[in-house]
Every structure is written in structure tokens, then in C-alpha cells.
Structure 1
């Protein structure tokens, strides 16, 4: 469970309650897919690589959402919408990460691997950013800027970073959909694709309302 040291007690309780709900959803999901499969994905399979890389990718989105929830301007109409979106993103991506971690456990695989980032995609190295980051991941400097931004500035930066983050995630999602026919992976990836594309469209509108540079 992530640290909530940067949140006040009220918000920590709110996120704590949300994460309990997430854990219950993960347990329910796992119960539906826990039936042993004749052939589970191997350690170097696209399914395992996607689960590992996307879980890491989601962890940054969750962190950015917590920061926006804490530091954005929730008093304006646009800011209040972002406030709600940040909460929804944090809880939904925590849930998805829990499901993917459950897959790996059910498949008898470690959560971490010695395989390289994006190695599960043929030619996946070409998808990496110039410094080796996964598609869409914010840099350390960008995260530091978000950690210190406040109000409208935080709202604008969050929109810009999350749009890029989601666009990178969508590249990864399309890649796994081309590589797998495993039912639970396809279902999860398609759900991610719908939600993230919808959030990109909404964030672009909100960014325009805020007067920020488009992404």
C-alpha cells in the first residue's frame, strides 16, 4: 500500500477506504479467474511482460493522481472535475495493478523479471523513450515539478503529463492485444483501452479550458 504522508488525515482515510474497496474487487476478480489453466503463460511471454510493465506504468499514474487530488484547485468547475477524475484514476489503476499481480501469482511467476523493459513486444525497444523510459512515463524532473505545483498550475501540469502517460499506455495496450488471445488479458486490455482513451479526450478538453498548452 502506498504511503499517504503527503495527504492530510481526512484524505488519507478517504483513500484508505477506497483501497479497501479495490482489494475486495481484486479478490472477486481473482475468484473468477483462479481456475487453473492447462497452460499458463511463461516467464518470457507477452502476457507476463505486459502485466509487469503495465503494473509499473500504472504506479506512476496512481502517484500523479494522488498529487493532483492533493494539490490541484478543487474550487473551480474544471478543477473539481479533475479532482474527481484523479480519485477515479487512482482507484481504478490500483485495482488493475492488483489484478495483474494476481495473474502473475496464479501463473507461478515472479512479479519482477530480469527480462528488459518492453522486451515482450517484437521490436519493443523502439517504443522506449530516449532515456529508456516506457512509453508515456514522466521523467523524474517532471514528477518533481508536479510535486511542488499548486492550484491551477498543478491542474495544467497534471493534464499534460497524464495525457502523455495514457497515450504511452495505449501503445502498450494495442501491442498486447496484437499478441494475446488469453481471455482475461484481452478483457482487461480492452477495458483499459476504453477508459484511457476516454480520459485522454476529457483531459484535452479540460486542458483547453485551463488555457494550458495542448498535448
Structure 2
């Protein structure tokens, strides 16, 4: 956990250094913008994927699952650091009292893997695809093949929820950097959903 946290901190600094200096009011997203809302929400969403991956890493010796978990830890910790860095550059808070997904427009409801603005947070699942506290505990108690299957199922749902949010941000964000990152998330996580479907099939399970 410490390694991922340190890496995210470094990337946050990089994001601060690389983001172009605001030359106009339009250069910095507002508190209510899709850019800021997506950065805040997806940082939280990503953090849970990293936690799931750290858990399964210690619950199985399967090299394929451990490799996937390692990739998720690195990719999503990196992206999380970038998003938190952007919020730092914009001088915006990293949390909001308005609740998750308040930045999304109603015409985005119903996108892949989402229940949209009607999603009701419950038992630690704050946004579409996020595992509940009970599911996190279940994964922490599972071992071997059972842990592999549960991880792949939880991460598949997690990715599908993230894909929907990222698709919305790719359409709504005003800054090119946010749109590009969101589209990259869509493409990367769709590829991993396909990979996990094959891995689940190999284990006699489905998503």
C-alpha cells in the first residue's frame, strides 16, 4: 500500500508541474465542472480497485491473477495521482459535499455499467461498480481459486461502472487532458473486462 501511495504522490507532483498555467478563466475548471467532479469521483473509485488488487495479491499464488492485480495497482494508482494533482493545480478541494456523480447530466444516465444519477450508495459502495464492505470482507477471507473468482467478478463490475463514468467524462469534460485520460480509461478497462471474462471461463465461472 505504501509503495502505491508514494507513487501516487509523485505523480500528483508531476501533474502539478505539467498542467499548463491558466491563461484565462476557462483554463481552470470550476468546482461544479465535469472535469473536477470526475477527477474527485474517479480518484475514489480507483482507490478501491487498488485495494481489491492488494487483497487478492496475498490470497492466491496464481501468476495470471497476480499479474493482473499488479497491473491494476500500478495503472490506477498512477491515474489517481494525476487526477489528485490536477485538483491541486486547479486549487479545488479533493472532496465534495454534493455527493458522488453530481457532476453528471441526466442525459448520461443509462450508459454501460451505470445506474447513473439514481445510484444509491450503500454499505461502502459509493458509485456504480464499487464493491460493498461485505464483499471486501468476503474477498479478504477467501483463498486460492475462490479468491481469484471473486476478485475477477468484483473487478469486472468495478470496471464496468468506471467505464460508464469515464464515457461521460470523455463527452462532458472541457479540458483536453481530462477527456484524453477518460477515453484512455474506457479503452484500457474494456480490454481488461474481456481478459477477465476469459480468466473466469478458465475457472468455470462467469462475471
Q: TM-score, normalised by structure 1?
A: 0.83
- Looking at structure 2, the residues matched to 129 and 209 of structure 1 have their Cα atoms a distance apart, in angstroms, of 33
Secondary structure, in 3 states, of the residue corresponding to 1:111? coil
SS for the counterpart of 2:58 is helix
Alignment counterpart, residue 125 of structure 1, candidates 106, 114, 117: 117
Q: How many residues align?
A: 194
Alpha-carbon deviation of 1:26?
A: 4.5
| 1:67 pairs with one of 31, 52, 55 | 55
SS of 2:161's partner is: helix
2:183 is equivalent to residue 195 of structure 1:
no
- Which residue pairs with 2:68 in the alignment? 85
Question: Normalised by the size of structure 2, how large is the TM-score?
Answer: 0.86
Structure 1 segments, 4+ long, off by >6 Å, are: none
Query: Cα offset for 1:27?
Result: 3.7
Q: Which residue of 1 aligns with 2:110?
A: none
Structure 1 unaligned spans of 5+: 4-15
Distance, in Å, in 1 between the alignment partners of 2:183 and 2:77 is: 17
Aligned to 2:99: 116
Separation in structure 1 between the aligned mates of residue 43 and residue 23 of structure 2, nearest angstrom:
22
CA–CA separation in structure 2 for the residues paired with 1:130 and 1:44:
20
Shift of 1:211: 1.1
Q: 1:106 aligns with which of 64, 70, 89?
A: 89
Alignment correspondent of 1:45? 33
Distance 2:53 2:142 in 1: 13
Show the counterpart of 2:139: 146
C-alpha separation in 2, matches of 1:37 and 1:89:
35
Check if 1:55 corresponds to 2:47: no
Identify which range, 201-210 or 131-140, moves more after superposition. Answer: 131-140
Q: Which runs of 5+ in 2 are unaligned?
A: 107-115
Aligned to 1:33: 19
Per-residue CA distance 1:6-54 (angstroms, 9 max, x = gap): xxxxxxxxxx3x6655554554444322423423111111111111111
Alpha-carbon deviations, 1:89-117, whole Å to 9, x = none?
01111111110001111111011111121
Q: What SS does the corresponding residue of 1:173 show, helix, strand or coil?
A: helix
Cα separation, partners in 2 of 1:108 and 1:130, compared to 1, 3 Å = closer
C-alpha distance in 2 between matches for 1:125 and 1:175: 12
Q: Indicate the SS of the match to 1:71.
A: coil
Deviations 1:126-159 (A, max 9, x none): 2x15747311011111111001111111000000
